[in-house]
Amino acid sequence: MSDYAHTRQIMMQLTGPEGEYPVAQQNIEGIEYPVFTTAAQNLPALFQICLQHGELDFVVCGDDRFSFSETYFSACRVAQLLKARGINKGDRVAVAMRNRPEWIMAYMGALIAGAIVVPMNSWWTGPELDFGLQDCAAKLVFLDRSRLRRLQETSNDTPFISAGGFEERDNEFMRLIAEYPPEPLAFDHMLPDDDASIMYTSGSTGQPKGAVSTHRAIITTLMAWVLSGVATQIYQGTFGQEKEHQLAVLATLPLFHVTGCHGQLLCSIILGRKLVLLRSWVPEQAAKLIEQEHITNFSGVPTMSMELMNVALEGRYDLSSLEDLMAGGAARPPDQVRQLQKVFPNACPQAGYGLTESNAIGTLNGLNDYIEKPASSGPPTAPLVEMEIRDPDGQVLPAGEAGEICIHSAANIRAYWNRPEDTSKTLSDGWLKTGDVGYLDEEGFLFIVDRLKDIVIRGGENISCIEVESAVSTHDSVHEASVFSVPHARLGETPAATVFVAPGDSVSQADIQGWLEGKLARFKIPEYVLIVQEQLPRLASGKLDKRSCREMLLQQFDISA
């Protein structure tokens, strides 16, 4: 019997009518979903848990420490500021900063004010930020200095509040909120199925789409993760045991991602867990912080856990406080899973699968199951997530047969912002069509084998091939371009392009990359560019033959497929 089978039994007891986390079917917009019946009704209500944790450390950033109470009251000041600026329920308030305490205060404060918060990709260029702000019609944006400079290069006139540089606490943001009382606003008018957040995601259709989540959707994800953790601790016999140190997580991922926002930030509010912000990923610095802050939870793309493991093998830091090593965004190589278990004997390697559109919930794999099935993302998170594998006609496939992964959950997004056609293609009868291809084995464990979407996933960051192709094609010498993924030892995969330029034009890889600077965020710029002076190969349908374009580039640059 698998560990999952045991923990599932415990979860079913915990979610029963007499359990600590009761779940029942509820009709939402005409569709039945299993939902937590005693969960917080909205995110501002959930934020009040901060007061229970009081003066425990919540946010650590360099030499600065903010307790749970201090952070909560700062967020209330932000809400009062927004109210004074005319922000009403349903208005969009954007947050465009790198990970820093002000990001967290602005995010929480916007929700307390009743706004729909819009976490924006901090790697975006000025034009990309301009697009997002225009698309969601933001009434105000919180910016740090770098994002402000980028936005000022455009004609965008969205009102803003600046938080200065990364390590500056004496900034406009802090000065402004200090003028308002630390009193929460009434939030009983915010209903569970009101919109709470818009997160932009790059799919296969070019421009990023705003994924709209309700309060219930986000809270469902958080509670499902908490439930899974409690069930695992009960199964292991560790539930309720005293901890030598406060739980602590290293924020390795951007807060504008669902994993960073939900898994690292919002779960910390429920758990009373310290959130330690890392300015940028440097393995040695991460190891130093793990030792200093007694980090218990580590989550990142597989590259990060691999590089942390390499530092651990040098023996210069005490990393024995680690209890969980979560991976997402890409699959860990099976050998890495086994190595992690040896290098970190006190920690449990885990993996999960989810999307922005599912608010990061989907599957979880851990304990001995992950060691025995390291290529699997795990079974669906019971009893909140139902998963089916479907063929192109929408028929459900049996175990072992690969097809499109579809997810049914109250955590799924409500829609794409102002994109009804894209919404109808992705969401149907409560089911989310992920665009990923996989199969479920006889025990219900998910194995991902391919994707239908025309995207590159570089270190966990989605890149739309169409968006990059469109940008490349604006170069005067480019007739057409084909963008695709190629293998990358550290990041899993990276974008590359085969480009047809006018015969006789002298255009190099560096020319194309330089042309894209400022037009696309740097992580989207192809690492390899093959220049050809003949029309790109096509299929019988007349579409570009991306497979042949990719094979041409792999051969030219001697990259192993």
Query: Which pLDDT score, from 0 to 100, does residue 506 have?
Result: 87
DSSP-based three-state secondary structure for 115: coil
pTM to 2 decimal places: 0.88
Query: Which pLDDT score, from 0 to 100, does residue 6 have?
Result: 93
Q: Rounded to whole angstroms, how far apart are CA atoms 111 and 269? A: 15
Are the C-beta atoms of 259 and 329 separated by less than 8 Å? yes
Query: Which pLDDT score, from 0 to 100, does residue 381 have?
Result: 94
Query: Which pLDDT score, from 0 to 100, does residue 542 have?
Result: 65
Query: Which pLDDT score, from 0 to 100, does residue 170 have?
Result: 60
Q: Rounded to whole angstroms, how far apart are CA atoms 89 and 115? A: 5
DSSP 473-522: TTSTTEEEEEEEEEEETTTEEEEEEEEEE-TT----HHHHHHHHBTTB-G
Query: Which pLDDT score, from 0 to 100, does residue 203 have?
Result: 62
- CA separation, residue 246 to residues 56, 155, 207, 230, 521 (Å): 8, 46, 42, 17, 37
**Residue range 143-177, pLDDT digits in tens:** 999 999 999 999 999 999 998 775 655 688 999 99
Query: Which pLDDT score, from 0 to 100, does residue 483 have?
Result: 93
**Burial status of residue 397 (CB atoms within 10 A of its CB: 0-12, 13-18, 19 or more):** middle
Q: Rounded to whole angstroms, how far apart are CA atoms 340 and 424? A: 42
What does R_g of the chain's alpha carbons equal in angstroms? Answer: 23
**Residue range 385-421, pLDDT digits in tens:** 999 999 999 999 999 999 999 999 999 999 999 999 9
Question: Residue written as tokens 């809270």?
Answer: 219
Query: Which pLDDT score, from 0 to 100, does residue 535 have?
Result: 85
Are the C-beta atoms of 415 and 407 separated by less than 8 Å? no
Peptide bond into 159 cis (omega under 30): no
Amino acid identity of residue 516, one-letter, is: L
- CA separation, residue 296 to residues 221, 293, 383 (Å): 21, 9, 27
Q: Residue 149: which residues within 8 A CB-CB, separation 6 or more?
A: none
Are the C-beta atoms of 463 and 495 separated by less than 8 Å? yes
| Structure tokens, 178 | 């200090």
Torsion of CA 517, 521, 527, 532, to 10 degrees: -60
DSSP 121-141: -TT--HHHHHHHHHHHT-SEE
For residue 331, give the DSSP letter. Answer: P
Q: Give the residues of the chain that fall short of pLDDT 50.
A: none
Query: Which pLDDT score, from 0 to 100, does residue 218 have?
Result: 98
**Residue range 323-350, pLDDT digits in tens:** 999 987 777 878 888 889 899 999 999 9
Count Cβ neighbours within 10 Å for each residue of 410-438 and write b for 16 or more, e otherwise.
Answer: bbbbbbbbebeeebeebbeebbbbbbbbb
| Structure tokens, 449 | 């084998």
For residue 464, give the DSSP letter. Answer: E
Query: Which pLDDT score, from 0 to 100, does residue 449 have?
Result: 85
Q: Rounded to whole angstroms, how far apart are CA atoms 275 and 333? A: 28
- Residue 67 β-bridge partners: 57
What domains lie within the chain, and their CATH numbers? 3-38+214-450 (3.40.50.12780), 65-190 (3.40.50.980), 455-557 (3.30.300.30)
